Structure 1
């Protein structure tokens, strides 16, 4: 029974670490920001201090948190080391990074959507609709939807039926976590509209429509980044 109890506690700590991580993102916390103490976090997530302690250890091992004896727990990165496959977490100018990344995505993803429209199966389209619905539900509820957005783009890649593409898009999309607050939650209406257009075109096996819809989706993001860059430059 003790072994079962240990497994149960470990699973609970893993769940709570995800909740704490999303809490960090939702509050737009930055490296150097201090987390509430164990008691406050325990109250918030409805678990004991020992579970919070284990969850914090897990996030510390992933490079997100740092426990400073006698001082508290601090954010050191908003991107877990296991979710930074491109090794870009050290780049300081996140807006410039966002622009570079969206430029690469503009090269890749419209073509992938076109391929998806040609090769999508009924099952892959069903999965794509599910992830599209999840993003829309989270947006309307005011919840963080970054993971669902990643799942959506991964699903488009799966619709392409190309094994290399399927591996490539998740790598690019996980990098979006590094600048979640640059464009996300700012383009909610545009995200819902363009995601729906992408799904409808792929489901209709319309390659030109799918490519155009994905181009529009990426362009909205790129224009927002350029706008933010301009505002930042004017503030200097």
Structure 2
């Protein structure tokens, strides 16, 4: 069993109650990707090695998480073949707003405004509290992202890890979870956006600007980099939705 530990403003430990093992947590991450539409029935998952790299855990943990999903009838795990999604009914796994089917209840504009507000609030907290180990992990994730060009699903798995790792560095469990939930909305459309030529490369460029601000521990620069990235997400998603209407 594990418990996530955060730091409060005065540096004291702030714990978020979470009686989950690491594999349970990873299983929930997969469930969120399924509930949000990044992964659909019939999709195959990247290899265990690729998933372990993207999520920063061992292949054994990935295997355990997939076994949890398999026993619930969400994925099919066959020896010698890629794991395949066979159901989008994730039940109570993942973010509740997503798994309860409310993912489409919010407009793109509402999600954009909320995400801009939350990330602007997170930026100074993250800049003040992020540690070197987290920055190193984020740098590794950008390298992983560079290997995913042409593979939207694998990219979005690494992308979600990148953003949620930054959110957790703020030290406030409520802000972190809220930001992660907002990130997860409209991901089904983001999959289509990042499938377009040059989209992943552009997103990675934005991530490098975020990293520059993080390394400098510059909250204002981080807020600006978040804003540029989120506005690009909004514009490209709106363009996609407009073209589809």
TM-score calculated relative to the size of structure 2: 0.58
The answer for the alignment partner of 2:142 in structure 1 is: 132
The answer for the alignment partner of 2:231 in structure 1 is: 219
Query: Does residue 202 of the first structure (1) align with residue 204 of the second (2)?
Result: no
Distance 1:166 1:155 in 2: 9
- When you count helix as a share of all residues, which structure comes out higher? 1
Is 2:90–2:99's contact at 8 Å kept on the other side of the alignment?
A: no
**CA 1:91/1:168 → structure 2, altered by over 3 Å: closer, same or farther?**
closer
Determine helix, strand or coil for the equivalent of 1:139: coil
Instruction: Map 1:6-155 onto structure 2 (within 5 A).
Output: 35=42, 58=69, 61=72, 77=88, 80-81=90-91, 82-87=93-98, 90=101, 97-139=107-149, 144-155=154-165
Is 2:126–2:166's contact at 8 Å kept on the other side of the alignment?
A: yes
CA-CA distance at 1:166 after TM superposition: 3.0
**CA 1:128/1:64 → structure 2, altered by over 3 Å: closer, same or farther?**
same
CA-CA distance at 1:116 after TM superposition: 1.4
Please provide the CA RMSD for this pair: 4.1
Aligned residues: 185
1:193-231: CA deviation from partner (whole Å, max 9, x where unpaired): 110000110111111111111101100110012112222
Determine helix, strand or coil for the equivalent of 2:171: coil
**CA 1:170/1:226 → structure 2, altered by over 3 Å: closer, same or farther?**
closer
Distance 1:92 1:199 in 2: 29
The answer for the alignment partner of 1:167 in structure 2 is: 177
Task: Give unmatched runs, 5+ long, in structure 1.
Answer: 1-10, 46-54, 66-72
Is 1:128–1:152's contact at 8 Å kept on the other side of the alignment?
A: yes
Larger radius of gyration between Structure 1 and Structure 2: 1
Task: Give unmatched runs, 5+ long, in structure 2.
Answer: 1-22, 49-65, 77-83
**CA 1:142/1:232 → structure 2, altered by over 3 Å: closer, same or farther?**
closer
**CA 1:104/1:112 → structure 2, altered by over 3 Å: closer, same or farther?**
same
Distance 1:74 1:192 in 2: 27
Query: Does residue 183 of the first structure (1) align with residue 193 of the second (2)?
Result: yes
1:114-171: CA deviation from partner (whole Å, max 9, x where unpaired): 3212222222222222223222222267762112111101111133233333333333
TM-score calculated relative to the size of structure 1: 0.60
1:59-94: CA deviation from partner (whole Å, max 9, x where unpaired): 5836679xxxxxxx99553x7342342136635869
CA-CA distance at 1:57 after TM superposition: 10
